[in-house]
Each structure stands twice: as structure tokens, then as C-alpha cells.
Structure 1
Amino acid sequence: MPKFAANISMMFNEVPFLDRFAAARAAGFEAVEFLFPYEHPAAEIARRLEDNGLQNVLFNAPPGDWNNGERGTASLPDRRAEFRESIKHALEYSVALKCPRLHVMAGLVPAGVPRDTLLATYAANLDFAAEECAKAGVKPVIEPINHRDILGFFLNTTTEATRIIDAIGPERLGLQFDLYHCQITEGDVTRKAQELLPYIAHMQVADTPGRNEPGTGEVNWPFVFDAIDASGYRGWIGCEYRPKGETLAGLGWFAKYRAG
């Protein structure tokens, strides 16, 4: 049976962030993920996790200036020192929250910088992240993001991602496989999920084209979830979608997977 984690940066927005832990647990989730925890003390988030019997399975390293459009710094040659500090800061939270996965965002392609330069920077930074994360018992992951949601993002396809993971070492760096992004960029998500299984450390879902809950778009999710389960994947699947209406009203798809 697939295991689903609520992404409480996108779900349960009816209540403030720190109250979403209880809301997710009441809805039947046993795990949560989120984008960025850094506005709140790690100890406070850890308390919310413990009080609600939840696991934190993923969050993102600091992405640079998110509010001004930055989407990561890992591939940016002039931000190496900042990137290293961001990984160390993220790992303080990873340890406090007992979170085993850390998403490292590549960033937007800057004008006039050769792709080879960006790729070399990306590889060096990911190697550093892998070393630091290993010391804390955390696995860093990278995610191909579609060209529509984040125009100009450095990493777009699973083919690019697996080449980088092979260079760093699959035991040191994993793939965050978001079926929503894959459906837009590459399609054939069921076969992709099966083929990429040796690389996948975490999955995420949202329906296309609207990035809403499963059952609101074009994907046959019961078929996809059954295929993922049959493949032997036993990790978490993050629900990184924007509810079309109220979060609870859109959880009909989740009923058969809900924790007792």
C-alpha cells in the first residue's frame, strides 16, 4: 500500500503553518513534508511533530531569496559560499526534526553563463552536500522541475538528473521524482517510475494540468499508485499539490490509503 505524506506548505492552508501538523494527523496522514521550515524554531516544529505522532520526511534547503524569485543556488558559480552555509543550516533542522531527506534546489540559469560552468558548479556543490549530509545520516535529493512552473530552472529532466546522480554516486545522492513535473516534461510516468526506481529516494504527486489533488486532472491515479506499489517502492509519496477547494473536501482520493 502506498504511503502518503501531506505537504503542509501547500495543503491545509486554512490554518496557520504550525497548526497544520494537527490538521494533517486528523485527516489520517502519518507523515508530512514542507518547503521551508526556517521561519520557525526547529524545536517548535519538532514538538508539533511529536505531539501529533508524525514523521517529517522531506524539506528543502534554503533556496536563496525565494520571495524575489530565486529557486536555489546549487548551480550558481558566484554563490558557492552561501550554498555551503545553507546546507549546514538545513542540517541543523534535519537533525532536530529527524528528517532523512533534504531537497537541494538547482536554481535558475543566469544569463551569459555557459551550461558547462553551471554543471561543474552543481556537481561540486552536490558533492559537498552529500558529504555533509552523510555525517548527519541524511540523504540529499535533486528534483527535475518542469519548464512551465519554473521557467529557466537548471534541471528539467530525469535523464539529466540520473546522469548527475551517477556522477556523485546513487548511494550518496537520490532522485526526488515528482510525477507532476515528469508528466508535463516527459510523460509516461508509470514506466518512468519503474525504470528510475534504483535512483528514487522520494516521490511526489499532483494532478495535471492544474497541480491539484489526484482525480482532478488527466492522470489515472489508481492505476499509477497500484503500479508504484507493485514496483516495490516503499518510500513516502509527498502530496505536493494545491487543493482545488478546502483541503479536506479534496481528500476523497485518499480514503483507501488513510491510516486507521
Structure 2
Amino acid sequence: MKRRNFLEKSLLTTLGVSATPLFANSITSDKKITSTFKLKFAPHIGMFKHHAGDDILDQIQFMSDQGFTAFEDNDMKKRSIKTQEDIGKLLHNNNMEMGVFVAHKIYWNRPNLTAGNIDLRNEFLKDIKDSVEIAKRVNAKWMTVVPGFVDLSKDLNYQTTNVIEALKKASEILEPHGLVMVLEPLNFRNHPGMFLTGSAQAYQICKAVNSSSCKILFDVYHQQIQEGNLIPNIETFWDEIAYFQIGDNPGRNEPTTGEINYKNIFKFIHNKGYSGILGMEHGNSQKGKEGEQAIIEVYKSISEF
């Protein structure tokens, strides 16, 4: 029997459930996983494919075997319902937490939420409703939201109001389920023309939305390029930050390959009591198994503080 088929059947037997969506904390696993790291670092699909192969479940199992206690997948929304359910069960069985997935269609080159267009707003809200069901299947709490492109025909304050109104309506959908959309500011170099770029801007919007379901995704890579001053900004906007993502600059590869002092950043947020996930949204600086092993060793080393 193929390992994947055996894993799926054994999971169902162990959990004593059929292949139906799981809700967070609906069952308790007695399997104990020892974390290798002080923080909940979350790899993504493809990061360890040379060790684990192309199968998604095998890759997640490999992550768990290395001591990672979280996982994120921007493309979760594109996966089949069965794959989502299988991932949810495997994460649960390994006591791993699900990180972010992208909650909606992102407009990279024309305005949507900034424009105040009702049809585009309704499209966004439908995506959010659909993402609630995906979150249930994979036991996720967080989902990424990017408000989209600027509307050069409209005043910035008017655009901001349009975005806030859309996010308020999205929060009304998410709040009853305890789910959180995290707004991701993007840097001007990789994503020119996007509306949301700075952490202060995201902070202002979250305060205006005033919901536990609307928080900030602080991507350290983006904010190093966009504004720098990382630790002071994290401190300033701390009460609205719910999620971090990682990538060194230049290159957007693993920590220690660029200019960002990640050990100090991790020590800071650890000492602040952060118990959330840090998504490893970066590439591998080296190819093959050697590069993948280097990723693991780097995260071990920067966890020593």
C-alpha cells in the first residue's frame, strides 16, 4: 500500500471519523511532537521537496518530523476539498497549526477595493465567505488579505474609506467563527502600485475597522524594503500585529543570507510573549537536499537566544 493511502486510512482509524471537515479543537490528539524551535516557524509546500518528494502530505509530515509545529500555504484555496481535508487531518494528528492562506482574488494591476465598486466588493466578500469553509477544513485561524491596487483617479483618503468599509463587512463574516484576516503591506519594489504598503497605514486601517477579525500581517522582508526600523515599528504596532512572515533581504531567502538581524527580531518578539506563527515565505538560497538541510540548520541556530 502506498504510504499516502496508508497514512490517510490510519488517520481516519486513529481519529475515528469519516472524511468530513474538522473544526478547530474538535478532537484531541495524544501524539506528542517535540518542537525543535522556540517559535512556531511555518514552512510551505516545495521547501523540502528533495527530501520528502512531491506529495503534499509527505512534505508536511517531513516538516513535522524535523520539529516544525506550523505550516502555511498561500495556495490552499486552489486545492481540492479532499486535499484540504487530508491536510487538516494530518496537521491535527501531528499537533501542527495551520498558518495563513490567501483568502481572496488579489488584483495586482487594477483597483478593486480602493475603487468602491460594489460588484468588486461583493466578489471580495463572497471569497471571504468561501474562505470560512476552507478554514474549517484545515483548522486555520488566519487568512491573508491584500486590498489591491491604488486608484489614481481618487483621493487617497477616499480610497482608504472604501477599503475600511469593505473590511468592516468582511469582519462581520469572520467574527462569528473566530477567524482573522491579516492585512499584508507589500513593498514598492516587488509590488509597485499596491495600495497597502506601510505598517503605520495598516495600523490606521485596523484601528478604523475595530475588529478582532482584522489585524496586521507583518512581513519582515517587505517592511525592511519599504520602511526599515523593524523592531521599533513592531513595538509601536504590536497590539494590531497577529502574524509574521519571514524572508531576508536582498534575495528573499532564508535568514542569515541577507542584511536582516533575524536573531534579534526573533528574540524581541519571543520576549514580548508572541505565541503565533511565523511563516517562512522565502526561497532556498541553495539547491537540492543540501539547501533544504541548510534551512533546517539555520532555523535551529537562530532559535538559540
TM-score over 0.5 (shorter chain): yes
Q: Cα distance, 1:64 vs. partner?
A: 4.2
Contact 2:103 2:128 in 1 (8 A): yes
Residues 101-156 of structure 1: per-residue CA shift (max 9 Å, x gap): 12111112245344334322211111011111111110121111111111111100
Which structure is larger by alpha-carbon Rg, 1 or 2? 2
What amino acid maps onto 1:20 in structure 2?
Q
Greater shift, 96-105 or 167-176, is seen at 167-176
The yes-or-no answer on 1:210 pairing with 2:242 is: no
> Where does 1:135-154 land on structure 2 (aligned, <5 Å)?
135-154=176-195
Considering only aligned residues, what root-mean-square deviation do their CA atoms show, in Å? Answer: 2.4
| Higher percent of residues as strand | 1
Q: 1:31 aligns with which of 51, 61, 70?
A: 70
Structure 1 residues 242 and 235: CA distance shift in structure 2, 3 A: same
Contact 1:205 1:239 in 2 (8 A): yes
Residue equivalent to 1:185: 226
Residue equivalent to 2:86: 44
Residue equivalent to 1:109: 150
Q: Which has the higher contact order (CA 8 A, sep 6+)?
A: 1
> Where does 1:235-246 land on structure 2 (aligned, <5 Å)?
235-245=276-286, 246=291
Q: 1:61, 1:8 → 2: CA distance? A: 16
Q: 2:88, 2:112 → 1: CA distance? A: 27
Contact 1:76 1:107 in 2 (8 A): no
Contact 1:10 1:241 in 2 (8 A): no
**Number of residue pairs matched?**
255
Structure 1 residues 227 and 221: CA distance shift in structure 2, 3 A: same
Contact 1:74 1:104 in 2 (8 A): no
Q: 2:88, 2:284 → 1: CA distance? A: 25
Q: 1:257, 1:221 → 2: CA distance? A: 7
Contact 2:71 2:96 in 1 (8 A): yes
Q: What is the TM-score of this pair, normalised by structure 1?
A: 0.88
The yes-or-no answer on 1:62 pairing with 2:104 is: yes
Structure 2 regions of 5+ residues with no counterpart?
A: 1-36
Q: What is the TM-score of this pair, normalised by structure 2?
A: 0.76
Residue equivalent to 2:137: 96
Identity %: 27
Residues 78-111 of structure 1: per-residue CA shift (max 9 Å, x gap): 3112111100111111122121112111112245
Structure 1 regions of 5+ residues with no counterpart?
A: none
